[in-house]
Amino acid sequence: MNHLLSIEDLDRAAIERIVTQAARFAEVSDREIKKVPALRGRMVLNLFYEASTRTRSSFELAAKRLSADVVNFAVNGSSVEKGESLKDTVLTLSAHKPDAIVLRTPWAGAAELVSRWCSAAIVNAGDGKHEHPTQALLDVYTLRERLGGIDGASIWIVGDVAHSRVARSNIIAFQRMGAHVTVAGPPTLIPRGIDALGCEVRYTLDDLGSADVVYALRMQRERMSETWVPSLREYAAWYQINGRRLHPRQVLMHPGPVNRGVELAGEVVDSPQALIAEQVQAGVVVRMAVLYELLAGVHVPRPVPEPQLA
């Protein structure tokens, strides 16, 4: 594996290999000294075009636990604000010879594009509304730890599917691991044609009881430039996961940060069914496994692909 650009590129065996490696690293996290020398002397560059606290710090922690050097490049206050293009920023930063670049941008396909411009391993930490593969991997890991596996499980992804890269990566990853996926949400937030990914589509939570796993998505108020639902109040009335809707045998997941009282009621966030804290913990070990998979044992510089238009 040269890059982690999308879940689409990973078959079941690759996903299993990464989560199995993550389980080994989980043991490291319980030690007094939470560090292994696997990537000593390697450099990981975090390049974030969007605000992110948890994903960025999770990658930073993962790299440091593998003894890699980490450079964080935030776009705010940088040359990007002076009009530098993505390509020029990447070419400039590549002069420092990073071994891996962790990239988050608001644009679909940006990670793949960058992978053609430099020799570093590219990890897609979110490209627009397209994909967020490490989130999907950590969700698979979390479910495997809790349920032992998700073959045959029914997973409902609930909420704003249209604006969610997490939804897209998880629809693919969960199905690849043998689960049956249903997406549910207001019709304005379920993209036309999403069923082509193999999932079922529902517009109510009437049959939510059939789910083994309820995966609630964040209502991304900050990204909504227009009215997609009449009000958050009405959204909550129809789609909020609360104690009444969540069955005790179900587990609950959420990519964070949670809007309490919108997509999730406080009582379920604090319930033992919620795996939200486990997801955050899984984030570090899964990202360790991803960096390890991409960098460990790879010492020869990768060939830089021929530059080509777009």
Partner 1 sequence: MAAHPLIHGPSTPAELLLADVHVLDSRAGIDARHDVLVRDGHIAELGEPGAIEGPEGIETVEGRGRHLLPAFVDPHVHLRTPGQEHKEDLETGTRAAAAGGFGAVIAMPNTDPVIDSAPLLRSLRDAAAREARVPVGFLAAITRGLAGEDMTEMAELREQGALGFTDDGRSVSSAGTLRKALQYQRLCGGVISLHEEDPTLSHGGSMCEGSVSAALGIAGIPTVSESTMVARDAELAMYESARVHFQHLSCAASVQALAHARSAGARVSAEVTPHHLLLTDESVRGLDTRMKMNPPLAGESDRQALIAGLREGTIDCVATDHAPHAREEKEVPFEQAPMGTTGLETAFAALYTGLVLTGELPLGLLVQRMTAGAALFGLTTPTIATGEPANLTLVDLDAEYLAGERGWESRSENCCFAGRRLHGRVLLTLAAGAVVYRERVFSVVAA
Q: Which pair of structure tokens corresponds to residue 99?
A: 């071994």
Q: Please tell me whether residue 62 binds partner 1 under the rule CB under 8 A.
A: no
Q: Choose the binding region for partner 1 from 56-64, 160-168, 260-268, 290-298 (rule: CB under 8 A).
A: 160-168
Instruction: State how beta strands 154-158 and 69-74 pair.
Output: unpaired
At 279, which amino acid appears?
Q
- In 3D, which of 221, 165, 152, 162 has the Cα closest to residue 193? 162
Q: Please tell me whether residue 95 binds partner 1 under the rule CB under 8 A.
A: no
Q: Please tell me whether residue 218 binds partner 1 under the rule CB under 8 A.
A: no
Classify residue 83 by burial, with Cβ atoms within 10 Å: 0-12, 13-18, 19+.
Answer: exposed
Neighbouring residues of 53: CB distance < 8 A, sequence distance ≥ 6: none
| Beta bridge partners of residue 48, listed in sequence order | 74, 104
Quick one: which of 50, 69, 84, 112 contacts partner 1 (CB under 8 A)? 112
Smallest gap from Cβ 35 to partner 1, in A, equals 36
Concatenating the DSSP letter of every residue in 63-121 gives HHHTT-EEEEEESTTSGGGGT--HHHHHHHHHTT--SEEEEEESSTTHHHHHHTT-SSE
Q: Choose the binding region for partner 1 from 37-45, 82-90, 230-238, 286-294 (rule: CB under 8 A).
A: 82-90
Q: Please tell me whether residue 158 binds partner 1 under the rule CB under 8 A.
A: no
Neighbouring residues of 73: CB distance < 8 A, sequence distance ≥ 6: 45, 46, 47, 48, 93
Q: Please tell me whether residue 203 binds partner 1 under the rule CB under 8 A.
A: no
- 110 or 236, CB closer to partner 1? 110
For tokens 């033992």, name the residue: 272
Q: Please tell me whether residue 197 binds partner 1 under the rule CB under 8 A.
A: yes
Asked if residue 175 lies in contact with residue 150, where contact means CB atoms within 8 angstroms, the answer is no
Q: Please tell me whether residue 86 binds partner 1 under the rule CB under 8 A.
A: yes
- 109 or 261, CB closer to partner 1? 109
Q: Please tell me whether residue 128 binds partner 1 under the rule CB under 8 A.
A: yes
Total residues at interface with partner 1 (CB under 8 A): 29
Q: Please tell me whether residue 193 binds partner 1 under the rule CB under 8 A.
A: yes
Smallest gap from Cβ 155 to partner 1, in A, equals 18
Q: Please tell me whether residue 160 binds partner 1 under the rule CB under 8 A.
A: no
How many residues are recorded in the chain? 310
Handedness of CA 54, 287, 155, 272 (dihedral sign): negative
Q: Please tell me whether residue 191 binds partner 1 under the rule CB under 8 A.
A: yes
Instruction: State how beta strands 213-216 and 251-253 pair.
Output: parallel
- 221 or 233, CB closer to partner 1? 221
Q: Please tell me whether residue 105 binds partner 1 under the rule CB under 8 A.
A: yes
Smallest gap from Cβ 114 to partner 1, in A, equals 9
Smallest gap from Cβ 65 to partner 1, in A, equals 31
Quick one: which of 17, 64, 87, 146 contacts partner 1 (CB under 8 A)? 87
CA dist., res. 156 & res. 183, Å (int): 6
- 74 or 194, CB closer to partner 1? 194
Q: Please tell me whether residue 3 binds partner 1 under the rule CB under 8 A.
A: no
List contacts with partner 1 (CB under 8 A): 85-87, 105-110, 112-113, 127-131, 164-165, 168, 191-197, 225, 309-310
